[in-house]
Each structure stands twice: as C-alpha cells, then as structure tokens.
Amino acid sequence: MQRKIEANWQHHLIDAILRGQFMLRPELAMGMGPQIQGIVNSNNVFQNNFQTLDNISIMAYEDDEEHNAEDIGDEGSKVIVLPVKGTMLKYGTLCTYGMVEIASYIKYFASKENVSAIVLDIDSGGGAVNAVPPLLDAIQFVKSLGKPIVAHCDAACSAAYWVASACDHIYCNNDVSSIFGSIGVMLSFLDMIPYYEKQGAKFHEIYADPSGDKNLAFQKVMKGDYAQIREEMLNPMALKFQNAVKANRGNALVLDTPGILSGATYAGEQSVRIGLADKIGTLKDAIDYASVQSWAPKN
C-alpha cells in the first residue's frame, strides 16, 4: 500500500520528542535516550542510519488464503489485517508508521462491501498520547458499520493497550513474550537549556502582566516542581485512560488485581485470567474469529 506520509514529518517527530505526552513502558523510554539525543543534536539525522519504509504491509485473508490488500477486488468476504507496531506516533516518519496513516487505512478498508472484519496486529509498548484518538475514532467507525474489529497482540502496553481494549475481542499471541498492561501516563521532555548555556547562549522568558498563569505548570517543572503538571495534565489523563479501559473491558476485568490500573504489566496467561485479554491464540485464530463474528447475528 502506498504510504500517506506527512510532508513535514521531521518537524512532527521533533515536536513529539520535545513536548510529547506519552503512555509508554518506562524501559522503552529509557532505552530511546541515545536515539533521541542523536535526533535532537544531529544536523543530518534524517539521512543517516534510517531504514526507509515506502509502504505499509496490509494483508487480506479469505478461506485461509493470503492476499495483498491492494489486490482483493470486489468479490468474496475478506478479513483485513493492519499492523500497529513499534512506538506509536500520531504522524508517520520515514521509518515508522503514523497512527493517522493506520487509521485512514482502517476506515478505507472497512468501508469496502467485501471486507467483513478488521484485525489489528499489535506489537507495541505504547507511544504518544495524541496517537491514540485517531485509532479510537477508526475503531468506532468500524463498529458503526456493524463489522467486528479484533486485536491480536504480542505486546500491548500503555497507549497500545488503550487501543486494543477498544476492540471487540483481544487475542494474546503467546505466553512467552506477550505482555499487556502498563496502564498509565508519563510526561517526557528534554531540557536543552543547560546544554546551550554551556555554548554561551542565554535564555529569557518575558510574560505580559495579565498572563501570570501562562505556562506556569511548565515553568515549575523546569524548576523541579512537578505537582501542578501532575494535577492539571497527567492525573486527568491517567483517570481517563483507566475509565476507558474499565468501560471497554467491562466485567471481564478483574479490578482487584494489584496494579492492573496503575501501571503493572502481565504475561500472556495472566493477562487472560485478569481480563486484559480474552484468549491466547495465533494471528490465524484472530482472523478466523473475526470472520466467524462477521456472520454472527447482530443483537
């Protein structure tokens, strides 16, 4: 499939890194440190050591036959599988899919008469908060058409789990590497002021007299005071996340599980036991389930 990448993806990437609000497994955030430093400090960051992605691998399945989604025609009944993999960003880059791109394709294929169901093949530790709404909107669009949408997950943590929880059914790929949860919110940013001050730069921020509250929470963060930004930004988002998961998973969720809504993670079988997933199964199992559900009577 031809990608629909934003022309100014570089600026979107830098913006997400410098001011992004993230729902991301912490070890991923820490591991990305050297990459982030290289992106921010390098003049040729967009040219070196990138594996360019020029298309999105979207597949269609019918009667155990695999097809490229571009070649499905108008006959038969197809289940479309779309990837949600890696760190989730709203806009795509040369080396990552943007969730706006994925959401656009979800809607495109769901609108086809001979597409009976959608499967999201998820393997992600989460990502930017603003990457979630496009996918939630696309999932709701599929549901509005009366078509099932199923999540098949290896890793489904943080923002990726929010997306998975909105689907009709969740398959956990295995009980070896699969991991679910990390339901929580974090804010990550780079304070570059000390770096540039060592280069001789001096920063000034001047606010109008009637603008005493402008950027106040952020000003406090820069001084090491995180209380206001927790209260005004992170805590409301975390509660919204928790409430969405509870609403999406309903009675399946074992709410008295320690840490289930406060950031803990769980392996495959335990994820099923506590309601973060519905069953362990392969991608084929998820495709078969989605196909069967597309023929089930609607209530």
Nearest to 80 by CA among 45, 42, 106, 54: 106
Under a CB-based contact definition with an 8 Å cutoff, are residues 126 and 164 in contact? no
At 139 the pLDDT is 98
Measured distance CA(45)–CA(67) in Å, rounded: 36
What domains can you pick out in the chain, each with its CATH number? Answer: 9-191+251-295 (3.90.226.10)
- Residue 298: the pLDDT is 66
Q: Which helix (H) or strand (E) holds 115?
A: strand 115-124
Residue position matching structure tokens 């209380």: 227
Structural contact between residues 102 and 127, judged by C-beta atoms closer than 8 angstroms: no
Q: What is the pLDDT of residue 122?
A: 97
pLDDT for the residue numbered 49:
46
State both tokens at 110: 């769901």
Chain segment 140-189, per-residue pLDDT in tens: 999 999 999 999 999 999 999 999 999 999 999 999 999 999 998 887 77
Q: What is the pLDDT along the chain (299 residues), one digit of tens a residue?
A: 445 555 454 555 555 555 555 555 555 554 454 455 554 455 444 444 444 555 677 888 987 788 887 777 777 789 999 999 888 988 877 667 889 989 999 999 999 999 999 999 999 999 888 999 999 999 999 999 999 999 999 999 999 999 999 999 999 999 999 999 999 888 777 788 888 899 999 989 899 999 999 989 988 988 899 999 999 999 999 999 999 999 999 999 999 999 999 999 999 999 999 999 999 999 999 999 999 998 877 65
Q: In this structure, what are the phi and psi dihedrals at residue 209, rounded to the nearest 5 degrees?
A: -55, -40
Scored b (16 or more CB within 10 A) or e, 193-218 reads eeeeeeeeeeeeeeeeeeeeeeeebe
Mapped onto helix, strand or coil, the DSSP state of residue 7 is coil
Q: What is the pLDDT of residues 45-67, one digit of tens each?
A: 444 444 455 567 788 898 778 88
Contact 7, 173 (CB under 8 A): no
In this prediction, residue 191 carries a pLDDT of: 82
Question: Structure pTM?
Answer: 0.81
